[in-house]
């Protein structure tokens, strides 16, 4: 169990550094655009989680420890939007279109409301 936590911690550390590096690179190349660093990180994370999920579906012999390191650790620190996207895609693939729509609307709308509430509390 400790090994798993250490693996997730290592992946998370690398994911956080990668997120920061992408943001710095983006700002250096395209300053003052809309939140481009976040968009880039979210889209890259979605691409990566799709590739990793596809690999594990096709090659289940890949280490579960590696999966947790990369998906929970690295991508969890890099962007949780990739997990949101994969969860939504899996709902759609399972024929749960209404549930997927509810998940999207709740995540985005209630997420914005929670952010506003948190900011209001802090002010």
Residues annotated within a binding site for Na(+): 76, 79
Residues annotated within a binding site = 76, 79
CA distance 69 to 29: 30
CA distance 16 to 96: 32
Tokens of 123: 């002010």
CA distance 105 to 96: 14
Neighbouring CB atoms inside 10 A of 24's CB total 11
Are 10 and 74 a contacting pair, CB within 8 Å? Answer: no
Q: At what angle do helices 81-93 and 36-58 cross, to 10 degrees?
A: 50
């Amino acid at each position: 169990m400790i090994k798993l936590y250490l693996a997730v911690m290592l992946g998370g550390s690398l994911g956080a550094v990668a997120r920061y590096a992408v943001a710095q690179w983006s700002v250096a190349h395209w300053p003052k655009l809309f939140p481009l660093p976040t968009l880039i990180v979210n889209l890259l994370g979605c691409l990566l989680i799709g590739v990793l999920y596809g690999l594990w579906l096709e090659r289940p012999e890949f280490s579960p420890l590696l999966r947790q390191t990369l998906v929970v650790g690295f991508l969890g620190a890099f962007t949780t939007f990739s997990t949101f996207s994969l969860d939504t895609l899996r709902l759609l693939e399972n024929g749960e279109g209404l549930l997927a729509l509810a998940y999207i609307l709740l995540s985005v709308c209630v997420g914005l409301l929670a952010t506003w509430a948190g900011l209001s509390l802090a002010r």
